[in-house]
Amino acid sequence: MKQQIIEKIRNAGVVGAGGAGLPAHVKADAAVDTVLVNGASCEPLLMSDPYLLEAEIETVVSGLRTLMECTGAARGILCLKGKHGAAMRSARAAAARHAANGLEVAELEDFYPAGDEHVLVHEVLGRTVPERGIPLRVGAVVSNVESLYNIALAMRDEPVTDRYLTVTGEVRRPMVVKAPIGAPVRDVLDFAGGPVIADYAVVDGGPMMGRVLSGEAHSVTKTTSGLLVLPKDHAVVTGKVMDPERLRRITATVCCQCSQCTDLCPRNLLGHSLHPHKLMRAAGTADFASASIAREALLCSECGVCEKFACPMKVSPREVNALIKKTLTAEGATWESRGNELAAHMFRKERRIPTARLVRRLNLERYDGHPAFAGAMEAPLVRIPLRQHIGAPSLPVVAVGDIVRKGCLVGEIPQGTMAARVHAGIGGEVVSVADGMITIKVR
């Protein structure tokens, strides 16, 4: 039965919807005692997970029970913040209905980053995931709400063709919307009434870890949790587009070594050997990657606390860490973990960052709220990336001129690689297969 479940998840192209897109069939092939449902809505402003927990709870629970069966887990815990009242009531009612199957609810406090899987495991289970480790090392699997929703659909042989996401910021109608995979970002913004300012930027994801989109060719992918429209001069935007060399020069000149980035670092507070202020010092040297402290950058989750909240000088330890990490990864550097002998900081709870304070610091208060679900949008054309996941890009199995239905397989997993299948987000004609993208147009 386990292999049948894994095969269905694989065939449906399910990936981690809340992070970098790890193919879900890889995570399902594990043995653990607990599955945690990550409904923390970690990033400010993103509300699709609370919506699914409120409106599609039985489908999410079905996916949870499937993953519990596959991994042998006796416990399944729905984890979400108490501030999401409707979602919490829905989750508690579902847990009561399925208590005999090992379902529970964990109410999280409203801090950032509660949805980081290392933080979530510590908060709910009191276990500390080793440095550079995964929750599997401490007997747990963490799965995003929409990933479980898609696993439930996979059991019905329904592939991943749509994505629930939040559209907010400077748009006429902030909303949660169900969009076809591959829908052009421009079309999604139009569905939300369009931007209400002329000079804007679009952040794919949340304000802390999202990326600024450049150009007009971007599409909704399986990992697009939100589209945030902000003025181009907003601090959230300008902090994400700095030239790396300019960043290094500013770091060497401005960083005052106050250590606040380390004091508030969520991974450091868990006991991990990550000291961003020391990495900032190393970044000012000519050969920063060779410094003895440099390997600590491999432990950074790039949550953005140091950059967007901690630093009084408005420089970016996060980008410095990412720059060092990129260099070390290219050199094949590894980290020697200390195993499970980690102790959380004695002031960890006091140093957690309330989301409301973070929203104020980011100047995002006017956009904060629970936008309503606006339904499913249609797209006359989709541009579907063949790589929407960790691992190798999928191989196209369609050609220009082919007629496909929504849900048809268009990208296959290359033999012997970790990847995910890709399916048509709409029905229509394949008009292009190029540059790692399949374009389908409604006939």
Domain ranges of the chain: 2-154, 161-234+363-379, 244-352, 380-443
Return d(Cα 370, Cα 366) in angstroms, integer: 12
Say which CATH class 161-234+363-379 falls into: alpha beta
Q: 2-154 has which CATH code?
A: 3.40.50.11540
DSSP state string for 125-142: H---PPTT--GGGGTEEE
What is the per-residue pLDDT for 287? 62
State both tokens at 415. Answer: 């033999």
* Tally of CB atoms within 10 A around 122: 21
Max intra-chain CA distance, the chain: 63
Strand order in the sheet with 103-108: 103-108, 75-81, 34-39, 140-144
List the pLDDT tens digit at each of the 443 positions of the chain.
899 999 999 999 999 998 778 999 998 999 999 999 999 988 999 999 999 999 999 999 999 999 999 999 999 999 999 999 999 999 999 999 999 999 999 999 999 999 999 999 999 999 999 999 999 999 999 999 999 999 999 999 999 999 999 999 999 999 999 999 999 999 999 999 999 999 999 999 999 999 999 867 799 999 999 999 999 999 899 877 667 677 767 777 788 899 999 999 999 999 999 999 998 887 766 566 667 788 899 999 999 999 899 999 888 888 888 888 888 888 888 887 765 578 999 999 999 999 999 999 999 999 998 999 999 999 999 999 999 999 999 999 999 999 999 999 999 999 999 999 999 999 999 999 999 999 999 99
What distance in Å separates the CA atoms of residue 269 and residue 216, rounded to the nearest whole number?
40
Q: Which of 313, 309, 247 is nearest to 284 (CA)?
A: 247
pTM confidence score: 0.94
Q: What amino acid is encoded at 83 in this protein?
A: K
As a whole number of angstroms, the distance between CA 329 and CA 334 comes to 8
Distance separating the N- and C-terminal Cα atoms of the chain: 40
380-443 is classed in which CATH architecture? Beta Barrel (2.40)
